A and B are shown apart, each in its own frame.
Chain A
């Protein structure tokens, strides 16, 4: 399994109260699966996504991503692991406004031992893959929402991570842009073998995933299905 989660719990103190957004959650996902996480607000979707992405650390339980014991990594180790193995796609794109599309995409590559020409080639290829070669020198304020999200996807894949996590990637887009982003994610999963975990409220978006998981109060409300029984 690419993702193996056993009895994962995340809790934190908020004032005098102990909040537990995830409790004893277990799931598995094979390499290349496109997984959608659905559920009401506060159900723990984003918390689970952040744990899988190494943005946060669990309170207890096991979290293995491609044989990396992510739950046991220190903050510094997590930072390094993310830079190699994870691409994060945000609802509001989170592009750096003062950098061009090309420079935004190049950001993850600056952490790798690559020459300038290698970085250029890879960033160009990523922008080409998302269909934005002609917008490489444009800054985020000069792009539409759909184009910004494409740049964000190019940034997430440019360093060729095995895992892509997406938090409501179509939540801020119009229908047409949303469809093209979902098509792009599907292609990344099917044609490029990326494992994708996507949080969404939109059933249409979830429908493109191989499997949809529902969370409520920090727990899965339907048992994890195998890829064979995936929702198509």
Chain B
């Protein structure tokens, strides 16, 4: 084997090539990290939002979108009494009739953004068990409670949506009563209204859905209820299944992210390959000389790969540093909710694997071409 110093010094033989390789691999790895983090963040938040213990009752035919669903007001109490085995903390049955509505909200300063509004009663906390009020209080009539990440959707400071500030729906202003968290779920980008307030604002006399939290009961018990009370025209869906379906709705966005990353990466890889072909082509005679001394082609190939790996792994490290500063914790607002990009161990491994693959497989074609000519021919090359 040639000493590692040979590979290291070769890196600095052409500083512009080194910069190009490090920069190119950093770009590719950064794109892969971004695409993986976005995909993982999107899937993760939707997976985490749905609970297998919750069942949603929606209007028959509206299984794809709760926002379009209409459920009779009586359904909440009917389900609470008819389905036995629902969770009942402190003796209150965990059945929460809610209104979901997508509408633009305006905050002080005139910022207007669409947000998912949820009209709730206190019972919502019995079914959305991850929700915890971290500041202020639960909303009373004339008040709203905002999710912890809501300010990012508006692109303002957290203080702009602190308790005591106002938020307007149309011309009606509401005081922010509190901030809630629901770690890792899309709920953190919602605004919770008093249910009656939202019913008035949206001029509805129906609910969007009734959320039930199961204890001893099973999904089939709820399903049987929907059949028994066919007059209510309900359909039961497990909450985790609902969000799984929503996740598949975003599949084209994820695919586009990967396609974009792949296209830019392909450009960088072809540019890098071209540079390597030129760089190695100028070293054909040097490689032949080393073979004439007694170094095997395999040893020389390993040295060339080693050299490229040093450059691509430096690029990978650079990509990780950039990702830590610019991607880690970055919130991406989509209509459903806000996704946070995180550098999880899996994503770090993906980035590292990309860097290793670039250094190894990207080097093989130009390196093999450099080592391919017959020794007498290679020794005479200029």
Q: Answer whether A111 and B6 are a contact pair too, CB < 8 Å, given A47-B376, A55-B376, A55-B379.
A: no
In the assembled complex, how far is the CB of residue A89 from the closest CB belonging to chain B, in whole angstroms? 10
A90 contacts B by Cβ under 8 Å = yes
**Closest partner residue, chain B, to A96 (CB atom):** B286
B9 contacts A by Cβ under 8 Å = yes
Question: What per-residue 1/0 map shows which CB atoms of B273-292 lie under 8 Å from chain A?
Answer: 00000000000011001111
Which residues of A have CB within 8 Å of B3?
Answer: 110
A108 contacts B by Cβ under 8 Å = yes
Q: Answer whether A99 and B285 are a contact pair too, CB < 8 Å, given A55-B379, A56-B376, A88-B293.
A: no
- Which residue of A47, A50, A94, A111 is within 8 Å of B294 (Cβ)? A111
**Closest partner residue, chain A, to B296 (CB atom):** A79
**Closest partner residue, chain B, to A111 (CB atom):** B294
- Which residue of A98, A99, A103, A107 is within 8 Å of B293 (Cβ)? A107
Bound Cα distance from A97 to B5, whole angstroms = 13
Query: Are B376 and A50 closer than 8 Å at their CB atoms?
Result: yes
A-B contact count (CB 8 A): 57
A76 contacts B by Cβ under 8 Å = yes
Query: Are B376 and A111 closer than 8 Å at their CB atoms?
Result: no
Interface size class of A (residues with CB under 8 A): 20 to 34
Query: Are A80 and B294 closer than 8 Å at their CB atoms?
Result: yes
B2 contacts A by Cβ under 8 Å = yes
Query: Are A55 and B375 closer than 8 Å at their CB atoms?
Result: yes
Query: Are B13 and A83 closer than 8 Å at their CB atoms?
Result: no
**Closest partner residue, chain A, to B1 (CB atom):** A110
Which residues of B have CB within 8 Å of A82?
Answer: 292-294
Most chain A beta carbons < 10 A, residue from B291, B374, B376: B376
List CB contacts (< 8 Å) of B273-319 with chain A: 285-286, 289-296
Query: Are B291 and A79 closer than 8 Å at their CB atoms?
Result: yes
A155 contacts B by Cβ under 8 Å = yes
Query: Are A90 and B293 closer than 8 Å at their CB atoms?
Result: no
A53 contacts B by Cβ under 8 Å = yes
Query: Are B376 and A94 closer than 8 Å at their CB atoms?
Result: no
B51 contacts A by Cβ under 8 Å = no
List CB contacts (< 8 Å) of B112-140 with chain A: none
Which residues of A have CB within 8 Å of B10?
Answer: 98
Chain A interface mostly: helix
Question: What per-residue 1/0 map shows which CB atoms of A56-93 lie under 8 Å from chain B?
Answer: 10000000000000000000100110111000101000
- Which residue of B2, B289, B294 is within 8 Å of A79 (Cβ)? B294
Which residues of A have CB within 8 Å of B13?
Answer: 97-98
Bound Cα distance from A94 to B376, whole angstroms = 14
Which residues of B have CB within 8 Å of A103?
Answer: 5
In the assembled complex, how far is the CB of residue A166 from the closest CB belonging to chain B, in whole angstroms? 12
List CB contacts (< 8 Å) of B355-382 with chain A: 374-376, 379
Which residues of A have CB within 8 Å of B374?
Answer: 56
**Closest partner residue, chain A, to B2 (CB atom):** A110
In the assembled complex, how far is the CB of residue A141 from the closest CB belonging to chain B, in whole angstroms? 12
Which residues of A have CB within 8 Å of B292?
Answer: 53, 55, 82, 88
Bound Cα distance from A31 to B78, whole angstroms = 109
**Closest partner residue, chain A, to B377 (CB atom):** A56
Q: Answer whether A99 and B9 are a contact pair too, CB < 8 Å, given A79-B296, A110-B2, A111-B295.
A: yes
Query: Are A56 and B375 closer than 8 Å at their CB atoms?
Result: yes
Which residues of A have CB within 8 Å of B1?
Answer: 110
In the assembled complex, how far is the CB of residue A63 from the closest CB belonging to chain B, in whole angstroms? 15
Bound Cα distance from A155 to B290, whole angstroms = 11
Which residues of B have CB within 8 Å of A97?
Answer: 13
Which residues of B have CB within 8 Å of A107?
Answer: 290, 293
- Which residue of B5, B9, B285, B375 is within 8 Å of A94 (Cβ)? B285
Bound Cα distance from A79 to B12, whole angstroms = 29
In the assembled complex, how far is the CB of residue B304 from the closest CB belonging to chain A, in whole angstroms? 14
Which residues of B have CB within 8 Å of A84?
Answer: 294
Bound Cα distance from A56 to B288, whole angstroms = 12
Question: 4 smallest A-B Cβ distances: which pairs?
Answer: A83-B294, A94-B289, A98-B9, A50-B376
B interface residues, Cβ below 8 angstroms from A: 1-3, 5-6, 9-10, 12-13, 285-286, 289-296, 374-376, 379
28 contacts between A and B (CB under 8 A): A46-B376, A50-B376, A53-B292, A55-B292, A55-B376, A56-B374, A56-B375, A76-B296, A79-B291, A82-B293, A82-B294, A83-B293, A88-B293, A90-B379, A94-B285, A96-B289, A96-B290, A98-B9, A99-B6, A99-B9, A107-B290, A107-B293, A108-B293, A110-B1, A110-B3, A111-B293, A111-B294, A155-B293
Supplied contacts A50-B375, A55-B375, A99-B6, 17 more A-B pairs, CB within 8 Å:
A46-B376, A55-B379, A56-B375, A79-B291, A79-B295, A82-B292, A84-B294, A88-B292, A88-B293, A94-B285, A96-B290, A97-B13, A98-B6, A98-B13, A110-B2, A110-B3, A111-B293
